[in-house]
Amino acid sequence: MSDQQTRAVIHAEPVVPYDSLYARLGTLRAEWTLADPYPHVVMENFLGADVIQRMLGEFPDIRSGEWIHYVHYNERKFGQTQRERFGPTIGEVVDELNSPRFRDFLRDMTGIEGLLHDETLEGGGLHQSERGGFLNVHADFTVHPHRRDWRRRLNLLLYLNPGWEESYGGYLELWDTEMRECRRKIGPVFNRCVIFSTDPTSFHGHPDPMTCPPGVTRKSLALYYFTQEAETMVRSTEYRARPGEGVRGLGIYLDKMALRFYDRTKRALGLDDRFASGLLRLLSGRRR
């Protein structure tokens, strides 16, 4: 199929079904406002069936060599941030979710004015984890790594995991602001979209190593949104131990501090995540 034919098929249905989203805007606003432990919404069947199936078909194989390695004590996952390497459908979905029209919808739902998207997809883009993958509970970095006046405000996660079973794990956990208990678990099921606020105490993760079968991976698209602020509080990713993690909690803390040092270096020198990928592979001793 030619690129022109592919684009024609993609446009057979809207990339984002705005009519459907705005039809339930009042419900989504209420869900956002009343959500526990912090503002978030969960939307099922977020994209049309044709669009999401084509995204899945374009998702790069984990053995393709295109992936950034986020492999250290606090996480084990892989990422792809290069928009030009995305397939046509994934690329169009990313562009639409970063468009003024979709950011207007986010404003209408959350009440946050002036949302900005990140063309570099720093830390976001495509994510994929194998059996044994995990992401310790954390609150995200508060300011864009290369734009000090860009405060991070929202995360959007779109899952691409057909047939995902509860026994595999990999559920997104939302923890209270004091890190005392998990208040909600959200399965990474196919075509489910989760949007949540990224305040300094919006703790989340999937900290237990996954038990999915070999060859099955946890796939998602992650996009982050910002607002431009005159004054910002700059902090790198804040990993936290869960209650009762004991000695493991010390490892979480030490790794966090090492990454904090790297984050300062990254901001000062303008480094990107591909540099970090090589460094983390060296530190972890992992070769693929």
DSSP state of 143: B
Domains delineated in the chain: 3-284 (2.60.120.620)
Q: Which residues of the chain have pLDDT under 70?
A: 1-12, 266, 270-288
What's the per-residue H, E or C state across 230-267? Answer: CCCCCCCCEECCCCCCCHHHHHHHHHHHHHHHHHHHHH
Residue 278 pLDDT: 59
Residue 194 pLDDT: 98
Q: Is residue 159 within 8 Å of residue 219, measured between CB atoms?
A: yes
- Share of residues in the chain with pLDDT > 90 (%): 83
User: Per DSSP, what are the bridge partners of residue 172?
Assistant: 186
Residue 259 pLDDT: 87
Q: pLDDT for 133-188, tens place per residue? A: 999 999 999 999 999 999 999 999 999 999 999 999 999 999 999 999 999 999 99
Residue 281 pLDDT: 54
Residue 283 pLDDT: 52
pTM: 0.90
Residue 49 pLDDT: 96
Gap between the Cα atoms of 106 and 111, Å rounded:
8
Residue 9 pLDDT: 45
Residue 10 pLDDT: 45
Gap between the Cα atoms of 161 and 211, Å rounded:
14
Closest of 224, 212, 235 to residue 76, by C-alpha = 212
The rounded mean pLDDT for the chain is 91
Q: pLDDT for 146-160, tens place per residue? A: 999 999 999 999 999
Q: Is residue 87 within 8 Å of residue 202, measured between CB atoms?
A: no
Integer CA distances (angstroms), 76 to 157, 183, 187, in order = 17, 23, 18
Gap between the Cα atoms of 17 and 39, Å rounded:
22
Q: pLDDT for 111-140, tens place per residue? A: 999 999 999 999 999 999 999 999 999 999
